[in-house]
Structure formats: C-alpha cells, structure tokens
A and B are shown apart, each in its own frame.
Chain A
Amino acid sequence: ETGVTQTPRHLVMGMTNKKSLKCEQHLGHNAMYWYKQSAKKPLELMFVYSLEERVENNSVPSRFSPECPNSSHLFLHLHTLQPEDSALYLCASSQEPLAGYNEQFFGPGTRLTVL
C-alpha cells in the first residue's frame, strides 16, 4: 500500500450504531488530519494529530471521537450520529502539522450515510 488509505470506503449506519473509520498513511509523515466534506461546502478540518498528540479540535461534537495510536494510524469513532452528519470523511497526512506550506496528502475518503 502507498500513500494514504481509508477503510471502509462506504458506510451506512443508523443513528444508534457505533462504527469506526480507519486511516493509515505509508508516507512516514508526522501529522494526520480528519476533514469533513458536505455537499457544496468547503472541506472542514475536524481534528489534527501531531506525533500521536491532538493539536487541534475544531469544535467538533463529541459524537465524533478521534484516536491516534501511532503516527501511521488514525481512527474516527462514531456514535449516535445524526442524519446531517452524512458526508465524505477525508483523512490526510503531512510532514509537519498545520504548517501552511506543507502539502497534505489525502486518502480517498469514506462516504458516510446516517439513516
């Protein structure tokens, strides 16, 4: 595997379910990100991790819970979601966290539908 991978690619869940999104980066980067992309809206940064420490949390509801066990893996745990949480969830990585000149490498995303 190369680059940034995400699983699953598609997820349909009910509002009472608990599920997790997984991201893995094979680039040796130090920072990982979760973004949310809703229809016709800009990408919204949700969380940033630098060397497994959370450095940014953009006022995301607690029903989204990130976990970064090591610098290559990032999870987004989901529970009691709402239909408006349906979106494309993108994971990204970069060499350094939040440095503006740093190119971020994105995974293909997980298309989440909450029924």
Chain B
Amino acid sequence: DQQVKQNSPSLSVQEGRISILNCDYTNSMFDYFLWYKKYPAEGPTFLISISSIKDKNEDGRFTVFLNKSAKHLSLHIVPSQPGDSAVYFCAASAVQGAQKLVFGQGTRLTINP
C-alpha cells in the first residue's frame, strides 16, 4: 500500500508560468512533509518542508501548501524557470517516534522556454 502518492508522472509548463505539483497521503499520523528535487545523475536535494501545524510555507519562488483534511499537499513554483526542470519527490514522516521518510514516486517537471 503506497502511503504517499504523486499521481502525475510528468508535467510540462511554460517558462514564467506557475508550476503546481501535487501529492496525496493516506497515513493520518504523518505530520511533517518535504519536497526533494532531483536532476539526472545527481541525488535528490532538499527543497522545502512543512509541518502539520502550518498550512503554508514559502521560500522564494517555492511555496508548499498543506490541506490536512484532504491529506493533500502541493508545491507551487512561480515563476517557473528552465532550471526547475527536474524530478520532484514528495516525502512524509511522523515526527513523533522513529519514523522513516516515505517517498512518492516522483513527478518529472519540464519547463519549456
């Protein structure tokens, strides 16, 4: 049973527009969420996170929104730039106790010039 799902395997967005990547989770114990970005031939790198006590966290062009009732989070990138083309992974964990990070399968974002 996949606890973290990214239902869109790929997304194509025009440069300068907004990119919205979505992630759904099923485990109500999850209370901390992270987004990682991965370029080809590199390991994933941490992008932004959000705790369940918040519903929004912003860092420059990147904003993560959390809807706990819907068990849904999204990553907004605005404006999108060609360098944002990468695979984006959503991950979730429960802060209490020794809980591992559970990853989604990733969404490949392509920014078109």
Contact = CB atoms under 8 A, between A and B. Distances in A.
Interface of A: 4, 6, 9, 40-43, 45, 48, 55-56, 90, 92, 97-101, 103-109
Given A92-B43, A103-B34, A40 B9 contact: yes
B101 interface: yes
A42 B32 contact: no
Query: For the complex, would chain B's binding face be called helix, strand, loop or mixed by DSSP majority?
Result: loop
A56 B101 CA distance: 12
Interface stretch (B11-19, B74-82, B102-110): B102-110
Nearest to B32: A100
Most chain B CB inside 10 Å of its own CB: which residue of A48, A97, A108 = A108
A9 B43 CA distance: 11
Contacts, number: 62
Nearest to A107: B43
A104 B31 contact: no
Contact of A45 (B31, B98, B101): B101
Contacts of B95: 99-101
Nearest to A100: B93
B70 interface: no
B101 A100 contact: yes
A58 to B, nearest CB: 8
Contacts of B44: 43, 90, 106
A96 B32 CA distance: 16
For the complex of A and B, 5 pairs with smallest distance between CB atoms: A100-B93, A106-B43, A43-B103, A98-B98, A100-B95
A98 B100 CA distance: 5
B12 to A, nearest CB: 18
A55 B99 CA distance: 11
15 contacts: A6-B43, A42-B104, A42-B106, A43-B103, A55-B98, A56-B100, A90-B44, A97-B98, A98-B98, A98-B100, A99-B98, A100-B93, A100-B95, A101-B49, A108-B43
